[in-house]
């Protein structure tokens, strides 16, 4: 077992570099694990910048919640964070996947390419083939830290060690209970209690309304949405499914600006995303309510160290998932509850409301 006292002692001051700057400088997306291999560019998925930067040690944020649809590049935010920790701010980290098996698969399919393909990480974690490398599928040692990968179904794994960094991935696929020892999320978060400057990153596509962990976590945050400007009238708005319009061919779908009602084409998205900004939707509402009911104080004020982001696949960059394909997928799914549930979860990034 690793001696953890050296971690707590603080071997060196934290880097002031932000995770997004580090990623642009150092991160190489691998041929095997990425649809767009090569240098990582934050401007390809500009909405990830604020999420990644909240994970930087220079940010006072402790807990970052990300509820999302598919094909928005959300996985890379977590990967960049891991790379950053190994290179810039070493410490003990726990990565929790839904099961131990899925954790092993994630380690081989995602973590290993991350370590091999970015030159500045290549030598930081020793070759797993060398003896005493401290490098196995479930555990990667590096100077000043370790990344341990486990599953939410393993109470032993969740209690393995104190951690400064906790990455809870796809939490809506976690079992309700880890080996009858309680909620895996709670068990894992308890591991961070001894660290003053901890970071917790909770990511998932939601599942069923009321049961969804990521929905519950997101509701306890300041609930940030990504506002993008209309290319015609410059009105900033959240992209919503009800504003997607098409006639007979869903692939020709356009977005109708909620302000000027003019059509926005899919290719406009690049510029819209570039100029977009995250805004909390909770702060204003809560402040207004506060005048009437004192007890409903703004959540964002109660929990200044917790932030939450929601992003649907309607924000997927040009070349990944178009509004037309989202519409086509909707047409295929709309008459079947199971398909429509999956579409709602993965495309809109929203929990599904069960009937009855």
Residue numbers at the binding site for Zn ion (CB under 5 A)? 230, 232-233, 235, 257, 259-260
Residue 65 or residue 272: which is nearer to Zn ion going by CB? 272
- Antiparallel, parallel or unpaired: β 92-97 and 165-169: parallel
Report CA Rg, the chain.
21
SS3 call for 352: strand
Residue 156 or residue 260: which is nearer to Zn ion going by CB? 260
Alpha helices in the chain (DSSP H): 5-9, 19-26, 48-54, 74-88, 100-106, 112-117, 119-122, 155-158, 184-190, 213-219, 269-275, 283-292, 299-302, 323-333, 337-346
CB of 267 to Zn ion, least distance (A): 16
Residue 101 or residue 235: which is nearer to Zn ion going by CB? 235
Q: How far apart are CA 70 and CA 53, in angstroms?
A: 21
Q: How far apart are CA 113 and CA 290, in angstroms?
A: 49
Residue 235 or residue 251: which is nearer to Zn ion going by CB? 235
CB of 129 to Zn ion, least distance (A): 57
Residue 66 or residue 255: which is nearer to Zn ion going by CB? 255
CB of 265 to Zn ion, least distance (A): 13
Residue 47 or residue 255: which is nearer to Zn ion going by CB? 255
CB of 231 to Zn ion, least distance (A): 8
Residue 259 or residue 332: which is nearer to Zn ion going by CB? 259
Of the candidates 99, 114, 112, 96, the one whose C-alpha atom is nearest the C-alpha of residue 26 is: 114
Residue 85 or residue 264: which is nearer to Zn ion going by CB? 264
Contact 255, 323 (CB under 8 A): yes
CB of 275 to Zn ion, least distance (A): 13
In 105-223 the beta strands, taken as DSSP E runs, fall at: 139-142, 145-151, 165-169, 199-204
Neighbours of 335 (CB within 10 A): 8
Contact 225, 232 (CB under 8 A): no
CB of 130 to Zn ion, least distance (A): 59
SS3 call for 331: helix
Residue 232 or residue 341: which is nearer to Zn ion going by CB? 232
CB of 235 to Zn ion, least distance (A): 5
Given phi > 0 = left and psi -120 to 50 = alpha, else beta, which region is 236?
beta
Q: Take residue 131 and report the two structure tokens written for it.
A: 């003896």
CB of 263 to Zn ion, least distance (A): 10
Alpha helices in 129-212 (DSSP H): 155-158, 184-190
CB of 264 to Zn ion, least distance (A): 7
Q: How far apart are CA 193 and CA 229, in angstroms?
A: 41
């Amino acid at each position: 077992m690793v001696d953890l006292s050296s971690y707590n002692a603080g071997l060196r001051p934290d880097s002031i570099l932000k995770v997004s700057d580090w990623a642009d400088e150092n991160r190489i997306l691998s041929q095997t694990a990425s649809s767009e291999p090569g240098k990582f560019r934050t401007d390809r998925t500009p909405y990830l910048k604020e999420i990644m930067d909240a994970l930087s040690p220079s940010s006072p944020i402790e807990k970052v919640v990300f509820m999302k649809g598919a094909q928005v590049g959300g996985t890379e935010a977590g990967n960049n964070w891991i790379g950053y920790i190994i290179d810039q701010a070493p410490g003990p980290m726990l990565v929790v996947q839904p099961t131990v098996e899925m954790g092993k698969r994630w380690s081989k399919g995602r973590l290993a390419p991350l370590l091999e393909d970015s030159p500045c990480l290549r030598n930081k974690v020793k070759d797993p083939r060398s003896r005493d490398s401290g490098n196995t599928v479930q555990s990667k040692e590096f100077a000043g830290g370790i990344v341990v990968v486990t599953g939410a179904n393993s109470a032993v794994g969740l209690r393995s060690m104190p951690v400064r960094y906790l990455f809870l991935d796809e939490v809506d696929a976690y079992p309700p209970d880890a080996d009858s020892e309680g909620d895996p999320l709670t068990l894992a978060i308890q591991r961070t209690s001894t660290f003053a400057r901890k970071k917790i990153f909770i990511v998932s596509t939601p599942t069923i309304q009321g049961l969804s962990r990521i929905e519950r976590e997101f509701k306890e945050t300041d609930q940030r949405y990504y506002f993008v400007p209309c290319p015609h009238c410059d009105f900033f708005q959240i992209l919503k499914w009800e504003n997607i319009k098409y006639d007979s061919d869903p692939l020709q779908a356009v977005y109708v600006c909620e302000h000027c009602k003019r059509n926005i084409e899919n290719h406009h998205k690049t510029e819209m995303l570039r100029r977009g900004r995250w805004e909390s939707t909770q702060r204003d509402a809560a402040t207004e309510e506060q005048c009437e009911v004192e007890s409903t104080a703004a959540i964002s004020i109660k929990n200044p160290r917790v932030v939450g982001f929601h992003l649907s696949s309607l924000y997927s960059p040009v070349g990944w998932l178009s509004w037309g394909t989202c519409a086509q997928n909707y047409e295929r799914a709309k008459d079947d509850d199971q398909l429509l549930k999956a579409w709602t979860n993965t495309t809109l990034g929203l929990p599904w409301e069960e009937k009855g």
